[in-house]
Chain A
Amino acid sequence: MTFSSSYSPPLVCEVCGSILLLPNGAGDRTCPNCFRDALDPVTQGEQVVQGTPEGIVPFAIGPDEALRRLDTFTQAIPFRPKEIEEGALRQRLRQTYLPVWLVDADLETIWKAEVGYHYQVVSHKEDYVSGAWRTREVKETRTRWEPRVGRMQTRIDNVPAPALDGFMQLMRQLDGFDLKRMQPFAPEHLNGAAIRLAARTTQDAWVDAEPRVQEAASGEVQRAATADEIRDFAWAQPQFQHNWTQVLVPVYTTYYLDDDDEKQVLFVNGVTGTVNGDRRASMRRAQPRALIFGGIGLAAGAISIVLALVLLLVFPPAALVGLAGLAVAVGFGVAAISPVVRVMQFNNRTQNAQVWKTTLTKTSQ
């Protein structure tokens, strides 16, 4: 597969399994998906899905805008890793095109469904307060469901289907790529970006595309029946004629190192600027503050105890000053714990958030 003579032959990442093309002379020879230095030429034993892109959605935002979005995204991290503060994201920012299949389906089928029509009913809510009733009239929207059957002959265009494992999840997390901006593929659009090659065949992709085609058909039936809702749409023996197109969509990737020196990859939608990825707070940065507050607290506590004991012997009522000092020491103790707890809570919360990197690594390994 040759996009242009200015690109390398297909390379495979031995860590995440990505198959990709890098521009000749690219300084950074790491994988733009996992940023590991583990790219090897594809051997004959490794299967590469054939197909040349026919369309491309060019980058709509520049690197500066992507970095601004990344900065906003990482601002939410308490005790951001030092690397982010030092501008590591800017240095490591890579442009990559990801492949996606688009299927146009000529469909002929018999279908059945229940179509729903909205109507409003008047209901009442009553409040009994201070011995009197107050009535509020409320309008509720209900749905009248009616069975329908039918036959349709239609064409459903540009249904996206993943050419990479886990791609649809990434697409959702990055708010989708505006396929209306798609242009016919031309190597000039690549502009030195890395290119991921498809990992799934059109047969594999159809498994994901078929429910979307059905959803589109269901929407068409809803419009035909001028219904407000539709449910239980099913078709019988649908006849399809597919036309597959491969399209490249743009993402920026970059990473930062967390406390365990793990690379946390961040993705930026090259069209909308939406960012997704793992956000990890740095315990290393939280600890100094905790130690400072803890030290002050301990010192204040020790001084307060000594002061209280001395004052107790000299002038007992003044021992209260020592007690006040102890209270201040406890305050510093609480302030010492707070950064650690905040980091732990943030990391626990974000650990549960699903990001593409996790899924991709799992499916690829």
Chain B
Amino acid sequence: MEFPPEGYMPAESALPNVEIYKPIPPEEEERPELVDFTCPNCNATTAYSIAAGGLECSNCGYYEPPEHTAVGKQAEEFEFKVEVIERAAHGWGEKRTDLTCSSCQAVTTLPHGSLTHTCPFCGSSAVVQTEAKQDALRPRFLIPFSVEEAELYPKVEAWLGSSWMLPGKLQNAAKMGLFNRIYLPFWTFDSRASAAWRAEVGYVETERYFDDGEWKTRTVTKWRWETGSVQRTFDDYLITGTTHVTQAILETIRDFDMSKLVPYEPKYLAGINAQAYEIALEQAWEAGRTAMREATRKACEQDALAGEADKVRNMTVTLDFSGESWRYVLLPVYLATYNYNDETYQIVVNGQTATIGGTRPVDWAKVIAVSAVLFVPAFLLGVIGLLLPPLLCVAGLAFMAAIAGVVALLSTAWSIIDPAREKKNMLEGMNVNDVFKQL
């Protein structure tokens, strides 16, 4: 019998009479601490090419493919233990430059030697360049860019003209800045939530009763205490690691296909900006748990209402999280700012799916005009109703319909303008806790 078996190496033994062998760990790639993206043919600087899916030299055409293929959902997940965080690799694996924006305080890391002097988040040129710190946790996986910048302009133009509430010809009037390719930090969380609930469940019934010499019917709710249990599995629940694009905006572009995750290699970042996480793991997990437990509580309510139940009250839930794990990933995003009427607005585009989110101005004159159009007939009908009392009822209905229409209009306008208000907060330096409250 061959001993030690193939694939084993000596391990430390605390007793001299016991020899121990352990499996040889998979070969660690001998990667230099800092990678230099210089073309081996012509010494020009290479950069990541979206079309080619690898490192390319624009000078001589040299191409270098990524070393790893997609691992997708098989990408390693980590448990919530301190040792893992301590053992995890740190830094970017290449020399990079930190660009700190004096306006919005965002810190972006750039390829070394980049000539960029504009903040990708707010478009400000009041920036300070310093050498990037190498002590932050290194991302383990990322989704490479798969949308070319050229594809974005027509789509963004269409997006800027996609609502009548937007200023006319916004797509022409908006002074678009260049799109910045940037990898934004995200945390993904997996967990199983096992919940046991207890609540008073109400069943609405119609009953007949005799009163005042006649039979009448009435609706009553019969309450009874019930219990149940709900299991929910959360897979790759995304929480942003940046405070400079709000969760509300990122929600609109979160349709990332996580099956395209690849192991992190510095070459994916060649020529592309990136941001290290600003929201630490514990904070992000707290936000993730908050969202997960609310989703589980709603599932408990639905469970209680299953069958013939109509109402639920006094619900208590006991929830156990298990199998919790996390990943720190970089996801591809295009950021651009544009100016309209001396105001700066932000556009965020999913670098994998081209889904667009962001802030847009609302043309209040149009909104007020349409509201007026809705109110005028109602006002006229009201006057007629006062003159001809039989039509008063119709006038009242028309008036209420007009109010409902205006409320719907304002609500739609608010959904467009709301991110803009968030952006204003962002520029003033947003509190991380506010981001969580928005969840």
Contacts and interface: CB of A to CB of B under 8 A. Distances in A.
Interface of A: 110, 119-129, 133, 135, 142, 146-154, 220-221, 223-226, 236-237
A226 B22 CA distance: 13
Interface stretch (B8-16, B94-102, B211-219, B393-401): B8-16
Contacts of A121: 79-81, 324
B316 A152 contact: no
Given A125-B321, A128-B297, A220 B15 contact: yes
Contacts of B80: 121-123
Contacts of B13: 150, 224-225
Interface string B65-82: 000000000000001110
A223 B14 contact: yes
Q: List the 5 closest pairs (A to B, CB-CB), nearest first.
A: A224-B18, A128-B317, A224-B15, A126-B319, A150-B20
Contact of A127 (B1, B17, B83, B318): B318
Interface string B303-327: 0000000000001111111101000
B293 interface: yes
Contacts of A147: 22-23
Given A148-B21, A150-B20, A125 B11 contact: no
A358 B191 CA distance: 52
Given A126-B293, A148-B11, A224 B319 contact: no
A221 B11 CA distance: 12
Given A110-B3, A148-B11, A220-B18, A125 B297 contact: no
Contacts of A126: 289, 293, 317-319, 321
A121 B322 CA distance: 10
Given A125-B318, A127-B318, A128-B319, A150 B18 contact: yes
A124 B293 CA distance: 11
A146 B19 contact: no
B385 to A, nearest CB: 45
Given A151-B3, A220-B18, A125 B8 contact: no
- Chain A binding surface SS class: strand
Contacts of A120: 81
Contact of B81 (A122, A146, A153, A224): A122
Contact of B83 (A119, A128, A152, A237): A119
B5 interface: yes
B429 interface: no
Given A123-B321, A127-B318, A223-B14, 16 more contacts: A121-B79, A123-B324, A125-B320, A126-B293, A126-B317, A126-B319, A135-B289, A148-B20, A150-B18, A151-B18, A151-B19, A152-B17, A224-B20, A225-B13, A226-B14, A237-B1
A124 B289 contact: yes
B1 A152 contact: no
B289 A149 contact: no
B420 to A, nearest CB: 32
A142 B11 contact: no
B389 interface: no
A221 to B, nearest CB: 6
A148 B22 contact: yes
B4 A149 contact: yes
Interface of B: 1, 3-5, 8, 11-15, 17-23, 79-81, 83, 289, 293, 297, 315-322, 324
21 contacts: A110-B1, A120-B81, A121-B324, A123-B321, A123-B322, A124-B289, A126-B319, A127-B316, A128-B315, A128-B319, A135-B289, A149-B20, A149-B21, A150-B13, A150-B18, A151-B18, A152-B19, A220-B15, A220-B18, A223-B14, A224-B14
A101 B322 CA distance: 49
Nearest to A154: B17
A125 B319 contact: yes
Contacts of B293: 126, 128, 133
Contacts of A152: 17-19
A17 to B, nearest CB: 43
Contacts of B79: 121, 142
Contacts of B18: 150-152, 154, 220-221, 224
Given A110-B1, A149-B5, A153-B17, A124 B22 contact: no
A225 B316 contact: no
Nearest to B320: A125
Contacts of B318: 125-128
A64 to B, nearest CB: 46
A122 B13 CA distance: 30
A148 to B, nearest CB: 6
B84 to A, nearest CB: 9
A125 B195 CA distance: 10
A135 to B, nearest CB: 8
A121 to B, nearest CB: 5
A356 to B, nearest CB: 37
A119 B84 CA distance: 11
Contact of B14 (A149, A151, A225, A236): A225
Given A121-B81, A224-B13, A225-B13, A128 B316 contact: yes
A153 B20 CA distance: 12
Nearest to A221: B18
Q: Looking at A220, A221, A224, which has the most chain B CB atoms within 10 Å of its CB?
A: A224
Q: Looking at B14, B18, B319, B321, which has the most chain A CB atoms within 10 Å of its CB?
A: B18
A223 B12 CA distance: 11
Contacts of B4: 149
A223 B19 CA distance: 12
Contact of B321 (A124, A149, A154, A236): A124
Nearest to A112: B5
B317 A127 contact: yes
Given A150-B18, A150-B21, A152-B17, A236 B1 contact: yes
Contacts of B12: 226
A147 B3 CA distance: 15
Contacts of A122: 80-81
A244 B307 CA distance: 72
A151 B5 CA distance: 12
A111 to B, nearest CB: 9
A142 B83 CA distance: 13
Q: Looking at A119, A142, A225, which has the most chain B CB atoms within 10 Å of its CB?
A: A225
A148 B22 CA distance: 5
B22 A146 contact: yes
Given A123-B324, A128-B316, A223 B21 contact: no
A152 B79 CA distance: 35
B398 to A, nearest CB: 40
B300 to A, nearest CB: 8
Nearest to A142: B79
Nearest to B297: A128
A152 B23 CA distance: 18
Nearest to B10: A150
Contacts of A150: 13, 18-21
A202 to B, nearest CB: 25
A146 B322 CA distance: 22
B8 A149 contact: yes
Nearest to A125: B320
